[in-house]
Each structure stands twice: as structure tokens, then as C-alpha cells.
Amino acid sequence: MMVIAGTITERDHDQLNARELEIVTLLELRDSALIGTGLGYAERKTNLLLYVQPLLSKRADAA
């Protein structure tokens, strides 16, 4: 949850709003696909951080 919360603390899915849940779901799906391609943790983390930036920008714009 660090990507959504902006901190190292975890948040339960029940504490997230609809947009945050959507972003988490998209990240989980992307991570699964990257695992399927054989990428390691560090490569997946880098890829996911790049992937989430525009999603978070849209979230900030909508607020």
C-alpha cells in the first residue's frame, strides 16, 4: 500500500476509497503479468513505480 498511502505503513483494502482500490487492482494485475514474463522483484518494482505515476496524477487531478 505504500504507493497509494505514500508511506511505508500498510492499509487494509477495507480502508481504501473506490479510486484507490482501482489503482491497487491495476497494480496487482500488472505485477502478476510482469511475474508471468519472468521479471525479478527489482525490475517489477521499477516498472510498477513508472506505471502508477500517471494513475496517481489522474487521482490528484480529480481531487
Q: What is the pLDDT of residue 12?
A: 75
Host domain of residue 51: 2-62
Look up the pTM and report it. 0.74
pLDDT above 60 for 41: yes
Question: Tell me: the pLDDT tens digits for 11-37?
Answer: 677 888 888 889 889 999 999 999 999
At 51, which amino acid appears?
A: Y
Count up the domains in the chain and report the number.
1
DSSP state of 1: -
